[in-house]
Amino acid sequence: MTVLEVFGEAPVEEPAPAVIELAALTRAFPGDPPVEALHAADLRIERGEYVSIIGPSGSGKSTLLHILGLLDRPTSGEYLLDGVPTGTASERERSALRGGRIGFVFQAFHLLPHRSVLDNVMLATLYSGVPRAERRDRALEALDRVHLSHRTGFLPTVLSGGERQRVAVARAVVASPRVLLADEPTGNLDTTNSAGVLDLFDELHADGLTLVVITHDPAVSARAQRRVRISDGTLTELA
């Protein structure tokens, strides 16, 4: 029995790790001259936060997203995802981490045009080891979360842009990731469809999902609970 238990207090528990923790992270691209696209970035994102990262073209947004999504490695510095150091992980381990803990949403949707909405979402769990019937149930549940239960049998090609992006969001959340990473998620959408996607992000945030939205659009950035600016590869917290 510990001293704390003797006095009737719960033992001190380890705090949950940050979902994302970057320490002095740099990404340089070789060239003449070389480009330092990320410069000693420090960033800590806790579970349940909704963070936007805003910056102009060429400021390093995609570079940062690729590193956060384990699609690229930093030149130096540390990236811990959910407390797991990713720098020393093998490609196979990184791929497993990516599949299990990260959901992606891109500007261009990237849906398979000849597969139904339901199939598009189910394909995200193809290699999860989960039985097909269960995968189908989870996909239907994810489509319900994005308010597309009435479109499961449609092909993406007949959907509106906003509906397509909501399918992409369902695909991103179907495997219950720790974090949703979105790169210009409303970049191809008109105002009405953008509003639908941003409303959906609010709902997912309210459900406890951690969201990181990368954008050059101040209106999109303003919707987040916390805003970070990126300028020439340097991150600054906005008030």
Ligand X SMILES: Nc1ncnc2c1ncn2[C@@H]1O[C@H](COP(=O)(O)OP(=O)(O)OP(=O)(O)O)[C@@H](O)[C@H]1O
Residue ranges binding Mg ion (CB under 5 A): 61-62
Nearer to ligand X, 29 or 127 (CB): 29
Min. distance of Cβ 62 from Mg ion in angstroms? Answer: 3
Segment 184 to 223, residues that bind ligand X, using CB under 6 A: 216
Report which DSSP code applies to 126.
Answer: T
Residue span binding ligand X (CB under 6 A) among the ranges 29-37, 127-135, 174-182, 191-199 = 29-37
Contacts of 32 (CB under 8 A, 6+ apart): none
DSSP β-ladder status, 76-81 and 234-238:
unpaired
Exposure b/e, 15-44, CB count within 10 A at least 16 = b? eeebbbbbeebebbeeeeeeebbbbebebe
Helix (H, G, I), strand (E, B) or coil at 215: strand
The residues that bridge with 21 in the sheet, in sequence order, are 44, 80
Nearer to Mg ion, 82 or 183 (CB): 183
| Site map 31..70 versus ligand X, x via CB under 6 A | x---x-x-----------------x-xxxxxxx-------
Is position 157 an interface residue for ligand X (rule: CB under 6 A)? no
Q: Would you tell me which residues interact with ligand X (CB under 6 A)?
A: 29, 31, 35, 37, 55, 57-63, 216
